Structure formats: structure tokens, C-alpha cells
Structure 1
Amino acid sequence: MLRVFAISGFSGTGKTTLVKNVVKHLTKRGYSVGTVKSSKHDILPPEGTDTYIHLKASAHPVVLLGPSTTTIRYTRKLSPSELLERIDADIVVFEGFKSSSIPRVWCVGDRTIEQKNIPDRTHAIISWKSTETENTYSLPVLQSNAIEEIVDIIEKHAVQPEHVQF
């Protein structure tokens, strides 16, 4: 049964590195894992490539079948719910999605942020700093290399998609 969890925070706080490590550890625990990354930019295939030409001709979708991968490009933004219908995984980790109600950990990097700026449904703060410093949050603060503990939180708090608003 598909479940979702987010790794959120501001730019430059270590989200992508944490996602990479979390995916590796969830996979070692036997889960199939998908990821969804939010971006402010559209990414097009290089100009002049066949897939670029197909897109410019208004094909929808454009599918690229490689020797060992498949890429499907839609010419409109899919909702997270539509994406999840197409993902066959046990857990989908969303990177970003600060405004959603997905359960999450919140990356702060080496910064300190005010408790009031941490979204609801946050289950831990992830920091690059030593956790031996004073914890001013009402949540656990974990170092970014405490992957086993972070994955434990994900296993415990990931929910089915119908329980969140994107």
C-alpha cells in the first residue's frame, strides 16, 4: 500500500542529500521507493533532439524508451494525486512541498529558525549542527547523518495519500 512522506526545508539546507540517503536506507529495508521533486523551473530536452521535436509538435505525452529506462514527458503539470496513480512504490518521498500537509522532516542545514516557521505535521528537525547544542524546538533535532533514526520516523509517520492535501 503506497504511503507518502516529505523532506522539506528552504534552499541549501541539505534536502537532496538527505533524500538520497533516505532512499538508499529505505531500499535496504526492503521498500520500493519513488521520489517527487518540486521545482520552480521546467526542464526541457535539449533543443534539436528527437524528443524536443516531438514536444514542439504538440505530442502528448512524449515517451523515450532507452535500453534500460523509460522517460514519459507530459505537456502539462500533473497534480501530485495524478503522479501517485502512476507510481508503483511502497513509499514516495516528496522533496520540497513546504505548503502541503504531507508528514515531513524539516531540514534547517546550519541555520536556526523560529518554531513558528516550522510547518504542521513536522516530526523532526534535521540539522548539520551537532545535536549537543541546545534544542529550542518542541520536536526532536537530529543530525543529517542520523539516517537510521530518520528512516524510523518515515516508517512510523508516512501516510496514505488520501490523508494529505498537496
Structure 2
Amino acid sequence: MRVFGIAGYSGSGKTTLIERVLPQLRACGLSVAVIKHTHHDFDIDRPGKDSWRAREAGAAAVLLASDHRTAVLTEHRDTPPRLDALLAQLPPCDLVLVEGYKREPIPRLEVHRAATGKPWLYPGDPHILAVASDVPPPDGFPRIDLDAISPLSDFILEHAYSHRTA
């Protein structure tokens, strides 16, 4: 399994970039998974549902299954999950795109939009190999245009497969 990260501030277009490169990666015959870290308190479960009731009663995990998909709701009451533990939970796949987990030592691409007004991340992150941006970085750091989907997909493949991470 190969792992490649997508980094950037909220509103920079990380999820949109992933959404746009996924069909190209799949067209290469790859099975691709995505891990998205969120800082927001989220819950896909609803009070009163059987799964919610089981978790509230103390279940460490609840697996929901239908004929078309499964979801595992795992409680992390004491410590947040580590990326390596999340990777181990995935079904077999060729490539995992990771959005977030910026402290993990995985190769990554920074997504940057000038309109956000946010600073560049790459100067402080040695794992960022290039930026996908609508403006060039001030110092000539490697850049791929945000709308250049084929070059972005090629970059991800090249660097995911040149770094063994899992």
C-alpha cells in the first residue's frame, strides 16, 4: 500500500483536488482509498439509532453493513487514532490519499489558493514536495497548476511509488 498526503488550509481545495484526481488514478487501474482527518466534531450516527445506542452503552466499535457498503464506528475515548492504525483498518488497496495528518512523515502536496489569504505551508514542512496552486510560490518552489489534473495525478503516482510508507 502506498500513501500520499494532501495538505492545505481549510478552503484551499484539498477535497476538490482529491475528487478531481481520483478518476485518473482509477483509470490507471489502481484501487484508491482516502483518509480524511477532520478537526470538527462530527458524527455520522444519530441519537436513538441502534448503532448509537450500542456505542452509548459502551461498545468499543459498531460495524454497520448493508449489501452495498460498510462503516465502522470506533470510539476513541482516550486518544485520537494514529495514521498507521487507520491504514491498518483499510481494505487492501494500491494507494491511500491522506487529507490532513500533517505531522506524519509521508510525502505530500500542498494545496494553496491565494484567495484564502493563508501563508504557504511548505517552508515549515519538509515532506511537502510541491504545491498545487493558482499562484507561483515566491521562491520558485515546485508548482503544478491547480487545474492541471493529469500532471497532478502523475506527480502523486510518481512520488507515492518512490516513497515506501506502509
**TM-score per shorter chain, which class?**
0.7 to 0.9
CA gap of 1:55–1:135, structure 2 versus 1, over 3 A, is closer
Aligned to 1:56: 56
1:144 paired residue number: 146
Query: How far 1:101 sits from its partner (Å)?
Result: 1.9
Match for residue 82 of structure 2?
Answer: 79
- Give the one of 92, 95, 99 matched to 1:91: 95
Distance (Å, rounded) in 1 between the aligned partners of 2:141 and 2:106: 17
User: Could you list the runs of 5+ residues in structure 2 that have no partner in the other structure?
Assistant: none
Deviation at 1:115, TM superposition (A): 7.4
Q: Give CA-to-partner distance per residue, 1:94-152, whole Å, 9 cap, x none.
A: 012222221111111125735764511222211134xxxx6523322222111111111
Instruction: Tell me by how many angstroms 1:41 deviates.
Output: 2.7
- For residues 18 and 25 of structure 1, the distance between their equivalents in structure 2, rounded to whole angstroms, comes to 12
CA RMSD in angstroms comes to: 2.0
- After alignment, is 21-30 or 5-14 more displaced? 21-30
Q: What is residue 101 of structure 1 aligned with on the other side?
A: 105
After superposition, the Cα gap between the structure-2 partners of 1:62 and 1:122, relative to the gap in structure 1 and judged at 3 Å, is: same
Measure the CA separation in 2 of the matches of 1:58 and 1:114: 43
Contact 1:81 1:161 in 2 (8 A): no
Between the aligned residues of both structures, percent identity stands at: 29
Which segments of structure 1 move beyond 4 Å, counting only runs of 4 or more? none
Change (3 A) 1:78 1:115: closer
Normalising to structure 1: TM-score of the pair? 0.84
- Secondary structure, aligned partner of 2:111: strand
How many pairs align? 157
Q: Unaligned stretches of 5+ in structure 1?
A: none
Which SS does the other structure have where 1:161 is aligned?
coil
The aligned counterpart of 1:124 is 130
Q: Is the 8 A contact 1:123 1:153 kept in 2?
A: no
Match of 1:113 among 113, 116, 119: 119
Counterparts of 1:27 and 1:108, CA distance in 2: 24
| TM-score (ref. length: structure 2) | 0.84
